[in-house]
Amino acid sequence: MTAIERLAAALQPLGDLRRAEPLARHTTFGIGGPADLFLTVRNSQALAAAARAAADYQIPLLILGSGSNILVADAGVRGLVIENRARAEHLQGTTIRIESGASFAAFARRMCRRGLDGLAWAVGIPGTLGGAVVYNAGAYGGCLADVLRRVQLQLPNGHIEWIDAADLRLVYRGSRFTRGELHGRAILQCELELTPGDPTELLARAATYDQKRLTAQPRGRSAGSTFKNPPQAPAWKLIDAVGMRGMRRGDAAVSEKHANFFINHGNATAADVRWLIDEARRRVHQQFGITLEPEVEFIGAWT
């Protein structure tokens, strides 16, 4: 038996296991080739056990939240992809402990309804709590770092530990995860501290953010902002200025409505989207001397 077959046997009791699962079904872009093994887990114990098994058998591991910030290669991902659907939540006063596969937007709205302040800005952000930690998700002047106290991590050696949010070095759309310093660690749970607020006022504030999003952002399959905003100017302005608003490559396009959103109009390939990303970077660098840094993460077997 190969290592991957032995891993598949070990994973069987932990959740729903599939082979050669197309990741296009699990990303907001609707793009991405197959994962060798694809396991859906529904609690953080199963997530920890599956991550540990991948380490034991030395099989590459990707933990997938909602796939809302990734561009997966057309050739897919080798090894194991764990789809994280661990969603249990425990609330004590203003402290909330929540598993990392919970929907961030739904959680934020639930907290507004309960009269807990600190996450109204997050009601429209797709993705899981785990993904939100990795990128320090944020919008409208707020970010996760403002309310995150600590996270529970599964280490590659099998140990589980809580670490303080300060030790994740959360910055604008980044953390020690995005810098590759926590490779192989799975985020199992998060602990957040909110403050008491008025549910009516919080829901009204959330509604203004919903409205802003509807007005500014395009519909269609995307991964949100393609590039981080450099200090000099918003990325959309730079992409617009180099003549790429509305540009198409196959079924991939730069949005007419918001030039930092790249859209899959139906059957776009990862290569099509990547071409547009590279072209935007090339043109912006050539014209303005600014290097755009992708916010979207490239995942899998790129040639």
Ligand X SMILES: Cc1cc2nc3c(=O)[nH]c(=O)nc-3n(C[C@H](O)[C@H](O)[C@H](O)COP(=O)(O)OP(=O)(O)OC[C@H]3O[C@@H](n4cnc5c(N)ncnc54)[C@H](O)[C@@H]3O)c2cc1C
Please report, for residues 22, 51, 98, 156, the alpha-carbon distance to residue 25 in angstroms, rounded to integers and kept in the order given.
6, 22, 25, 28
Is the distance from CB of 84 to CB of 130 less than 8 angstroms?
yes
Q: How many residues bind ligand X (CB under 6 A)?
A: 30
| 40 vs 287: CA distance, rounded Å | 45
Looking at 225, 249, 281, 283, which residue is catalytic? 225
Pick the closer one to ligand X by CB: 222 or 229. Answer: 222
278: buried, middle or exposed (CB in 10 Å: 19+, 13-18, 0-12)? Answer: exposed
For the window 208-247, what string marks contact with ligand X as x by the rule CB under 6 A? --------------xxx-----------------------
279 is catalytic: no
The residue to which tokens 């859209």 are assigned: 263
Nearest distance in Å: CB 143, ligand X: 8
Pick the closer one to ligand X by CB: 98 or 186. Answer: 186
Looking at 173, 185, 205, 221, which residue is catalytic? 173
Is the distance from CB of 65 to CB of 128 less than 8 angstroms?
yes
For the window 108-147, what string marks contact with ligand X as x by the rule CB under 6 A? -----------------xxxx-xxx-xx-xxx--------
For residue 298, the surrounding DSSP H or E stretch is strand 297-299
Nearest distance in Å: CB 138, ligand X: 5
User: CB within 8 A of 244, min separation 6: which ones?
Assistant: 254, 259, 276, 279, 280, 283
149 is catalytic: no
Nearest distance in Å: CB 128, ligand X: 4
Residue 187 interacting with ligand X (CB under 6 A): yes
| 49 vs 47: CA distance, rounded Å | 6
The closest of 27, 212, 48 to 131, measured between CA atoms, is 27
295 is catalytic: yes
Pick the closer one to ligand X by CB: 33 or 126. Answer: 126
Pick the closer one to ligand X by CB: 94 or 136. Answer: 136
The closest of 43, 36, 41 to 61, measured between CA atoms, is 36
Residue 269 interacting with ligand X (CB under 6 A): no
Residues within window 59-88 making contact with ligand X, judged by CB under 6 A: 62-70, 84
The closest of 183, 170, 92 to 137, measured between CA atoms, is 170
Residues within window 4-63 making contact with ligand X, judged by CB under 6 A: 28, 62-63
* Interface with ligand X (CB under 6 A): 28, 62-70, 84, 100, 125-128, 130-132, 134-135, 137-139, 186-187, 222-224, 297
Catalytic residues: 173, 225, 295
